[in-house]
Structure 1
Amino acid sequence: MKRSTHLQDVVALVAGIYAFLSPIWTTTTTRATWTMVVLGVITALVALAEMVRPDMVPLEGLMVILGAAFIVAPWVMGFSTTRPMAWTAWIVGAVTLLVGVADLQVTRTHRRDMTAPSH
């Protein structure tokens, strides 16, 4: 299976785009909007980089960090009381975090298989 066909990368791309666009239809504040736009764009760009140039730099760990950033953003950026946007951040964060962990597992398994001696 080619690296660019991994479902994890597509899911991360969709999550990033959803986060970026979510202020359009979700009750929000200025700070929440900018947080979601910035994190969403970064997530989408990292996912695209993993799809287009998987051999470049292993970015799976960055996807885990982005997922965690989405999860803590409502508290850190002060929009946890804006429930619609906070829930959007938590859900997108959970999806992104899980995708990053799954991608790390796939990458580690693939690397281990590549370095294992063949008999």
Structure 2
Amino acid sequence: MDTKKWARWQDYVALLAGVVLALTPIWFNPNETGGVWAMIVLGVVLAGSALWSLQAPGAVASEWVHAILGVLMFVAPWVLSYANEAGAAWSSWIIGLVAVIVGLWALPESSQAHKKLVAG
């Protein structure tokens, strides 16, 4: 397990997923303004939390943030009424699942890095 800064592949996947989601309204412009802003904001926050994880590999909370944002992304098309707009909705669903998976996948490595930091 890699506990070095800027080394965990799951966080790079989360970073890429966040950037893609933030840019999704360029390709699939949902008619619902709330959907556009949700994708932009959630994408930027996911990318930011991925940078946090990459910089501080022992920040366990950052991995939970990825997973929670993934759940929010997944439900956003229904909550914000853009589920009938295929491109935008599928982007939210797929990227949401990716965020949950990589966030939970990185938890053991992040926990190990945290324990090393605490132990000194």
Is the pair's TM-score, using the shorter chain for normalization, greater than 0.5? yes
State the partner residue of 1:107: 110
Identity of aligned residues (%): 37
Q: What is the deviation of 1:113? A: 7.5
Q: Could you report, residue by residue, the CA deviation over 1:33-78 in whole angstroms, capped at 9, with x for unpaired residues? A: 1110000000000001111233456311111100101111111111
Structure 1 or 2, whichever has the larger Rg, is 1
Q: Distance in 2 between matches of 1:102 and 1:88?
A: 21
Q: Could you tell me how far 1:106 is from its partner in structure 2?
A: 2.3
* 35, 41, 44: which one aligns with 1:32: 35
Q: Which residue of 1 aligns with 2:78?
A: 75
- Partner SS, residue 91 of structure 1: helix
Q: Pick one of 96, 101, 114 that aligns with 1:98.
A: 101
Report if the CA contact (8 A) 2:60-2:107 is conserved. no
Runs of 4+ in 1 over 4 A off after TM superposition: 111-114
Query: Separation in 1 of the partners of 2:115 and 2:59?
Result: 19
| Mapped partners of 1:112, 1:50: distance in 2 | 12
Over 3 Å counting, the alpha-carbon distance change for 1:107 and 1:57 in structure 2 is closer
> CA RMSD of the aligned region, Å?
2.2
